[in-house]
Amino acid sequence: MMRGVDETSGSLFSYVDLEKRIPARHPLRKIRQVVNDALASLDADFKALYIDFGRPSIPPERLIRASLLQILFSIRSERQLMEQMDYNLILRWFVGLGIDDPVWVPTVFTKNRDRLLTTEMSRKVMAAILAHREVAPLLSDEHFSVDGTLIKAWASMKSFQPKAEATPPDDEGPGDPPAPGTTLETVPYETPAETDPMPRNNRHHRNAEVDFKGEKRSNATHASTTDPDARLYKKSPGTGAVLCFMGHALMENRHGFVVQGDLTQADGHAERKAALDMVHRHSPGSTRRLTLGADKGYDAAGFVSDLRQACVTPHVAQKARYSAIDGRTTRHAGYALSQKHRKKIEEPFGWAKTVGGMAQTMYRGVERVRSRFILTMAANNLARLPRLLGA
């Protein structure tokens, strides 16, 4: 066999269609088909968000496809997303850009996306994906599980500072003009002597060492200067408290798809309140008997009573003492099945933190983090579709 020649041959034109460069059985083909059909069903919602004149924005369909790609491929920033879209053909194909189309400026992409992807729009995208004609038959409409997880905030413990006290009424504050009738006292300027030592630079380092030992800090007296919506919280005893939010998911038990997502500030009652909200949002006014599996953190008398009033059987794990779950529930075989299937809900949480970038969010403010968390749950559903649909 003759040795091949290592020559660089640059071609001016390419005659291969971008569609033909993508393998026929690539998982993104099935994901793109479902996403395109879901976005087509949201055309009226997109049209209501934009006006008919002015400078055209980035198409909302492309914004959402690019945001889903960022989650699916664990791309850590919008700047890196634009960089990879510039040379990665499969990313261009998925978003809908041609080979010669320019990519967007990262700041322009970010501003357009933040205006579009609110919490409401993220929920609509998730609902449209689940309502797809190939996805809907995979879902259970009567057996569900719920759980919550901590999402570390984009704020350090050093930013958790004491809250500023109320300013006295007679304090005009810095930069305010003096009150009428007051005289300004002039402070004489003292010329430093030649023998005085050189003044030291008292500027504090941006990452100075801080000793928190012996200092009592709580959400009542302290707040983060980086993200005021973050709360200091720990979910289980023996672990350290961190500045975080609390993500919530409602999962159907047949194939483990997340059908509702939410994110709140972290506190001891957030999980149960969010669970009720997600159940009512998913099945408003339902008269069918549903089941809801959950761990021991949801075993509270008020929560169990609210579920029963909503026509939901509480398949909640029993606490060792003072449990609100009794033999009326545990005697049925379905209770044991719910306890077995509810553990699947840890898989979307694990995927979101290892692949979806939610171990520590890069967004600030509960509204922006909530929107991103719900979209990440939708991306987790998409990632499982090629195998389930046999693509």
Domains (ranges, CATH) in the chain? 18-116 (no CATH), 140-156+236-366 (3.30.420)
Supply the pTM of this predicted model.
0.85
Say which amino acid occupies 224.
Answer: S
Closest C-alpha to 158, from 203, 204, 211, 202 = 211
Pairing of strands 160-162, 222-224: antiparallel
For residue 212, give Cα distances in angstroms to 234, 238, 284, 286. 17, 18, 47, 51
The answer to whether 109 and 66 are in contact (CB under 8 A) is yes
| Dist. CA 338–CA 298, nearest whole Å | 14
> Per-residue DSSP letters for 27-96?
HHHHHHHHHHHHHHHTHHHHHHHS-SSSS----HHHHHHHHHHHHHTT---HHHHHHHHHH-HHHHHHHT
Q: What is the pLDDT of residue 187?
A: 45
Counting every residue written for the chain, the total comes to 391
Q: Which of 135, 133, 113, 110 is nearest to 122 (CA)?
A: 113
Residue reference for tokens 């200091």: 232
Tokens 């690539």, residue located: 26
CA 304-307-311 angle, to 5 degrees, is 140
pLDDT tens sequence across 197-207:
655 555 666 66
Smallest Cα–Cα separation from 66: which of 30, 32, 20, 23? 32
Exposed / middle / buried, residue 132 (Cβ in 10 Å: 0-12, 13-18, 19+): middle
Q: What is the pLDDT of residues 228-243, one digit of tens each?
A: 999 999 888 888 889 9
Q: Which residues contact 390 (CB under 8 A, 6 or more apart)?
A: none
Residues 71-81 as b/e (b if ≥16 CB within 10 A, e otherwise) read bbbebeebeeb
Distance in angstroms (rounded) separating the CA atoms of residues 234 and 267 = 9
Question: Contact 383/354 with Cβ under 8 angstroms?
Answer: no
Determine the Cα–Cα distance for residues 281 and 261; give it in Å rounded to an integer.
10
Concatenate the DSSP letters of all residues of 2-42 into one string. PPPP------S---S-HHHHS-TT-HHHHHHHHHHHHHHHT
Contact between 128 and 38 under an 8 Å Cβ cutoff? The reply is: yes
Strand 160-162, strand 143-152: pairing? unpaired
Spans of the chain, pLDDT less than 50: 166-180, 182-187
Q: How far apart are CA 36 and CA 38, in angstroms?
A: 5
pLDDT value, residue 199:
58
Q: Helix (H, G, I), strand (E, B), or coil: what is residue 161?
A: strand
Q: With beta carbons less than 8 A apart as the criterion, state whether 144 and 292 touch.
A: yes
What pLDDT, in 10s, does the model give residues 359-378? 999 999 999 999 999 999 99
Percent of the chain, pLDDT > 70?
A: 87
Q: Is 365 left (phi over 0), alpha (psi -120 to 50) or beta?
A: left
